[in-house]
Amino acid sequence: MTDISKMTEKDLCFMFDHTNLKAFATTADITKLCEEAEEYGFRMVAINPLHTALCSELLKGTDVHVGPCVSFPLGQNTIEEKCTETLLAISQGADEIDYVTNITAVKDGNWAYVEREMRTIADICRAAGVLSKVIFENCYLEKTEIEQLAKISLRARPDFIKTSTGFGTGGATVEDVALMKQTVGDEVQVKAAGGIRDWKTCKAMIEAGATRIGCSAGIQILEGFRAERGV
C-alpha cells in the first residue's frame, strides 16, 4: 500500500491519468489537457482514440504517457474489433491502453470469453511495451462478478484493473477498490476512476489500494493535498 504520509506532490501527480473523454472535446481542449499534464507532471492523458496522434506529438520528449480508451465506454465490440483498435492506437503513439471489458459476457457468466479477450489485449500491449488496463465498469456488476474478473486478471495479466469509465451509472467506490486490491494483491495494480473530484475522495481510494487515479480534477485534487499539508 502507498504510504500517504510520505507522499510528495510529485508522487501524487504521477498517479493521475489526466482525463478528457468528452464527445465534444475540441483540439484546443485536448491541447490544454496535454499542456496541463506536462506542467504538473501527471502520468498520462486519458483520451478518445481520435486524439492519439495529436497527443503523441504534443507530449513527445516528456514523461507523460498517451492513453487512448478502446471500445469506450460500452465495451460492446468483438475481441477482433478491440484488437484492431488497440493495434491502431499503438501505431499512432499510445503508451497505455484502457479498454472496457465485454459486460454482456460478464453478465452471461461467459468467463472463458472474458479471459480470452483480456489475455489477447494484454498480450498485444505487452509485446509492444505498452501498459494495459481493463475497465470492469463496476456499477453494473455484482461483487462476485468483480471478484471473478479480478481473479481472471491474475491469469491474463493486464497491468491494471480499473473500476469505471466514468460514463456509467456510478463511479469508483472505496469498497470496490478494496475488493479488487484484496483479490489481486501486488500482482496486478488497481486504477480508481469515475467521480473522484477532491483530495478526500482521492486519498480514500489510495488508502484502499489504488495506485493510479483517473480523473479530470487532478489540479483541484492537488490543491486539496497542498491545503492539507499547509503548503
pTM for this one? 0.97
Residues with a known catalytic role:
98, 162, 191
pLDDT tens-place string over residues 23-78 = 999 999 999 999 999 999 999 999 999 999 999 999 999 999 999 999 999 999 99
Q: Are strands 96-100 and 44-47 parallel, antiparallel or unpaired?
A: unpaired
Does residue 210 have a pLDDT over 80?
Answer: yes
Residues 114/147, Cβ–Cβ less than 8 Å: no
Q: Which residue has the cell 502507498?
A: 2
pLDDT tens-place string over residues 174-192 = 999 999 999 999 999 999 9
Q: Are strands 44-47 and 65-70 parallel, antiparallel or unpaired?
A: parallel
What domains appear along the chain, each with residue ranges and CATH number?
4-229 (3.20.20.70)
Residues 66/42, Cβ–Cβ less than 8 Å: no
* d(C-alpha 143, C-alpha 197), whole Å: 24
Dig out the grid coordinates for 225 from the structure. 493535498
* Dihedral of alpha carbons 18, 49, 131, 206, sign: positive
